[in-house]
Structure 1
Amino acid sequence: MADSRTPRAAALLVSPTLLVLSIVVLYPTIMALKESLYGVKGLDPKTGFISDSEPFVGLKNYADIFGDAGEQFWNAFWNTTFFTVVTVGLETVIGVAMALIMHKAFSGRGLIRASILIPWAVPTAISGLLWRWIFNSNGIANELIGHQILWTTEGFHAKVAVIIAEVWKTSPFIGLLVLAGLQVISKEVYEAARLDGASAPRQFWHITLPLVKPALLVAMLFRCMDALRMFDLPYLLIGAHKDSVETLSMLAQSEASNVRFGPASAYAVLLFLYVFLVALAFVRLLGADLVGDEDGSGRRRGRGRRKPLFPRRKEVAA
């Protein structure tokens, strides 16, 4: 019989975390939602006097975003989505490659691991200024390609600059989580696969990738949520009010800097809903892989007997 004190003890243990989350997440979210229902201080059309308080406008801020400011909103929306899809895709491929390199046993592995993880340790503000110097008109990037490209101006090249800088900085994050997944795979699994005649690509596809998939999906989920809120890197690298790289976070910051807290909160709420829906869809579609697909006994669920991944080679009769 289960101990009746277990649920109470579990609730007591998680209560500090829930309290902190309520303070730093739930309360600001509710206040942002409330603020998005108010307009900007200014001339009150009813009285003809300057209003000292923000007037209640209901859903007018949201109507303006999808109406008068619709073009600006959708441009930022597609920029945000484009950056997320491209950067996370490239980071996944490069991060897995980094993890495989760091997992290999060779002389100087510690130095290689440290050098790979350095970009992740660099603050984003420093990283943005560093890449702004690299992508300067007389910078290293133009010297290497032999062409004069104005990377930090409007255009697709500005998107490319942001993608390169973002992938350089955050690929080690995925590599680090995948490396943790690689280190729990038993060497006997690979030895058995080699005895069955499996080549290195087949071992990666049928052993390495499935076993590190939960860690890889968690890393991709965190990176998707982080990329959807991208602000500081394009802001520092390219600049504000650039249509080619403007994101939803940059729109919210621009409104707030102009003391338009109602519209800024509306943008923030829409961004929160976007991130929430993406994370919810990610967990719903891939939730079984995030936590593993095992039953209570620790055995993989499935019907019938599975075929071996690497069938033994037939013995040749003497």
Structure 2
Amino acid sequence: MPNTAFTVDAFLQNQLAAWERELGVVRRLSPLTIQSYGRDVGQFLDFLSGHAGGKVKLETLKDLRAADIRAFMASRREDDVTSRSLARSLSAIKSFFAFLEREGVMATEAFNAVRTPKIGRSLPKALTVIEAKRTIATTAELEEQPWVAARDMAVLSLCYGAGLRVSEALALTRADLDAETLRVTGKGGKTRMVPLIAAARRAIDTYLGICPFALDPGQPIFRGVKGGVLSPRLIQMRVVQLRGALGLPPSATPHALRHSFATHLLGKGGDLRAIQELLGHASLSTTQIYTAVDTDRLLESYHKAHPRA
């Protein structure tokens, strides 16, 4: 919950707490997402407090005008906040006001007159097949402890071979690996089944065979050097090392391996709906961005290879 003790009254403090509980229990958002939403709403309430010259009350929100929202967005622009971050902030603020309306506390039309900032579409930056394979294979050369090297190779193999987010890979348990397909818990607590290719299965089996810690069936299998659950930050740092060793661009990240999984599948004729299911995207429009990536690669190859291009 944002630290708004000095900017809102006790009633709104309680409403903020109830809204955040709903985000976690009903919408099943991750703690980090809830924290981010709360921070965005807290910034808006801080801004209103400055305008009101005191604590924000329910009456303050009832008197909210579109001009107030635009003034807040303008102030954020002056702080060099990007359109994407501003759009996220506006979405969080709307979510809080929608909660107040559902609870019968208040309603406002102010947001109807405010446009969401336009966000330029940025295409996922996938690695080539050779770069993706080298990224995984080179891991062993950068790590002296064989079990740590095997661990990191297994995680990166899951990102590229199964299209997993790093957080999804690090949450896997032995129970999730029992079948030929992986049981993956993604965003919003949604579960999906993902085929596990032989190379990724071998990487996991190699790690499990030499991991020095006892692993309970219901606990995450990937562990840090002290036996605790592995932090995503360590995998990100490993890929930074690999970028330096292989001369890869800054866009080469663990998540870029997930992008590569989708792009390479699509390039080989994979069905867009199937790729949507494998990635765990709620909307097909999210997956469709990979068609643009594949088209760009096709045009790039054409211009490089065609004698009249």
TM score, norm. by length of structure 2: 0.29
**Greater relative contact order: 1 or 2 (C-alpha under 8 angstroms, separation 6 or more)?**
1
User: Which one has the bigger helix percentage?
Assistant: 1
